[in-house]
Structure 1
């Protein structure tokens, strides 16, 4: 092979690498978009938000994503230049926080890969080492104890329709039937 052919192959190889990198970035953006959309809809369904509130949440999430994508080249340039500048002093510095790789978990979430975290009182913990793990915010209950808040909390809607050919007989036994229904509901709430 001639030098010209080798240069062409090398340049095509570099172009292929750039295209592959752009494709991976596009895939990450598409996944982030899908996650944002499904997360916003899921949160609105669970929290009972109106459709307008849901659209506002989605719009804000998409705006934040667009801003992060717009500033990514600047952040990459800054982190690259700072890494080069301080490379000899700080060889193992991880600047993921400057590029938007930090995900807040104040509202909860899932860790899908092994992740180290600081523990209160010192030390380091490891989460996600055996598979996905849930992160749930803690709340203080009326008794002052710290724990995980359960969702829901609203009373179930129960409709009982009684059709009888003799309404006067039902009126005489209404208190008994009402008590039976109330006991059945209580057993259902206790899971018995």
Structure 2
């Protein structure tokens, strides 16, 4: 009869322990979420379907966040590598020209500019009418504002002086905002 051979198995159990602890935390969180939702339904008189739907949405959101964690780390690492490879960050607050393909963050993703040749970056500003347009740079002198007042007598002019002062103050304020 053959003698049984015993071989000790040594395994790293830390990942399993971590996964088990994470599962315990999730189940406790689920229990708390469900209990809170049921209490809320009982107190507020909500429909059980609505309560369970809310619990399901919360759990799905948590699961999605947990599932996307590795991807987030990968994107962060890639961005760090790109920053190191591309060098320093160049500000374009005063405008500029991009002569080569250049990546930039855009709308939660990435955009590219300069891929088909030189492209301009122009700062924008709102004009007195509220519309957005290309900001105009310094240069030029001050703005001249002329009010022509025609009145039959000095007393009529005195009455309109307050209105003229108000109009002048508005014009100066607009010029100060966009000058």
Give the shorter-chain TM-score range.
0.3 to 0.5
TM-score normalised according to structure 2 size: 0.34
Structure 1 or 2, whichever has the larger Rg, is 2
What TM-score do you get using the length of structure 1 for normalisation? 0.32
